[in-house]
Amino acid sequence: MEGENHSKVSEFILLGLSDQPEQERILFLVFLLMYLISGLGNLLIILAIRTDSRLHTPMYFFLTNLSLVDICFTSTTIPKMLVNYISGNKAILYISCLAQVFFFSWFAGLDSILLSSMAYDRYMAICAPLHYTMVMTPRVCVLLVAVCWVWACANALTHTTLLTQLSFCGHTEIPHFFCDLNVVIRLACSDTFINDLVIYTMGGLTAVIPFIGILISYIHIFVSVLRIPSAGGKRKVFSTCGSHLTVVCLFYGTIIGVYFNPASTHTALQDTASAVMYTIVTPMLNPFIYSLRNNDMKGALRMLFTRKPGLSL
């Protein structure tokens, strides 16, 4: 059977966050609550933007997509973890693990690229306001979001396809609560050079380049803010960008801590804790960040809750 590249395992074992039954029951309740808050919060953001015509602008169009992606992102990992806690069975089928790698990589990449698109939108609105309506047309926004979805999908599909070429001989325990691409690759007993190379190259295009784009956008924005003579004008700009910048710091801060630090500087437990931050905590906090710091969103949410029954969305 020399040269055969199929996996010799049918399932992996997700070790999760704890092996103590008492702790697992507490973790189940905590993560179930966080999942419900995240899903409901992001759904409310989508509905509020959909029902308030004043929010039918590029900035909120991108925010709608970000909220949708966050719902999908959390649904990729948390339900399986909750099922494992209920059943006591931590096994995940090989094909299910591949699916989890694909969807996790897809939605994580989408988060990164969408945050960059939102930064570009703020850059155009603040630094080139006279050209904003001509550049950020509905057609351009839809095309930009479509490119984000397609590119992130191609990136995830590439990683998943290469993962199927690896052989897994015996060690099947994953020290994580989901099938993280980097962790699964480490379990392989075949050469992973191509996989690692693609992670660094395509990962750079999907994560690093958007992050650099965000930095460049905000450098220009801060320079423009410094030129505003009135304190009120500066506060208005910062209130517009503050929510997005907070989300960027939360998302990229934890990802950099996991994937861009030498492995010798952190433990598997620290990696797992950081993964909880960007896979669960950040998507849960996003609706609060965007609604509590944004008067337009507050007004839209009030309209949503006070809408009379029977009115069409």
- pTM of the predicted protein model: 0.88
Residues 269-295: tens digit of each pLDDT: 666 777 888 888 889 988 888 877 677
Banded pLDDT at 4 (limits 50, 70, 90)? very low
pLDDT at 207: 84
> Quick check: 300 pLDDT over 90?
no
Residues 157-216: tens digit of each pLDDT: 999 999 999 998 877 899 889 999 988 998 998 899 999 999 888 877 888 899 999 999
**Residue 182 belongs to domain with CATH number:** 1.20.1070.10
Residues 105-145: tens digit of each pLDDT: 999 999 999 999 999 999 999 899 899 999 999 999 999 99
pLDDT at 304: 81
Tell me which residue has tokens 């517009």: 240
Beta partners for residue 12, in sequence order: 92
User: SS3 sequence, the chain?
Assistant: CCCCCCCCCCEEEECCCCCCHHHHHHHHHHHHHHHHHHHHHHHHHHHHHHHCHHHCCHHHHHHHHHHHHHHHHHHHHHHHHHHHHHHCCCEEEHHHHHHHHHHHHHHHHHHHHHHHHHHHHHHHHHHCHHHHHHHCCHHHHHHHHHHHHHHHHHHHHHHHHHHCCCCCCCCCEECCCCCCHHHHHHCCCCCCHHHHHHHHHHHHHHHHHHHHHHHHHHHHHHHHHHCCCCHHHHHHHHHHHHHHHHHHHHHHHHHHHHHCCCHHHCCHHHHHHHHHHHHHHHHHHHHHHHHHCCHHHHHHHHHHHHCCCCCCC
> Quick check: 260 pLDDT over 50?
yes
% of the chain with per-residue pLDDT over 70: 88
Banded pLDDT at 264 (limits 50, 70, 90)? very low
91-93 and 11-14 strand pairing: antiparallel
pLDDT at 218: 92
Tell me if 28 sits within 8 A of 82, measured CB to CB: yes
Strand order in the sheet with 11-14: 91-93, 11-14, 173-174
- Burial annotation 158-188 (CB, 10 A radius, 16+ → b, else e): bbbebbeebebeeebebbbbbbbbebbbebb
Domain-located, residue 99: yes
Domain-located, residue 310: no
Domain-located, residue 311: no
Domain-located, residue 4: no
pLDDT at 19: 78
Residues 6-52: tens digit of each pLDDT: 446 889 999 888 878 788 889 999 999 999 999 999 999 999 999 98
Structure tokens at 7: 């996996």
- For the chain, give the mean pLDDT: 86
Query: What's the structural domain count of the chain?
Result: 1
Choose among 287, 71, 120: nearest CA to 220. 120
Amino acid letter, 48: A
CA distance 166 to 5: 6
Banded pLDDT at 312 (limits 50, 70, 90)? very low
Give the angle subtended at the CA of 286 by the CAs of 114 and 298, to the nearest 5°: 110
Domain-located, residue 16: yes
Residues 39-85: tens digit of each pLDDT: 999 999 999 999 988 899 999 999 999 999 999 999 999 999 999 98
Tell me which residue has tokens 């750079």: 204
The boundaries of the domain holding residue 174 are 11-304
Domain-located, residue 2: no
pLDDT at 81: 93
Domain-located, residue 3: no
Tell me if 47 sits within 8 A of 313, measured CB to CB: yes
Tell me if 277 sits within 8 A of 267, measured CB to CB: no
pLDDT at 266: 54
pLDDT at 1: 39
% of the chain with per-residue pLDDT over 90: 50
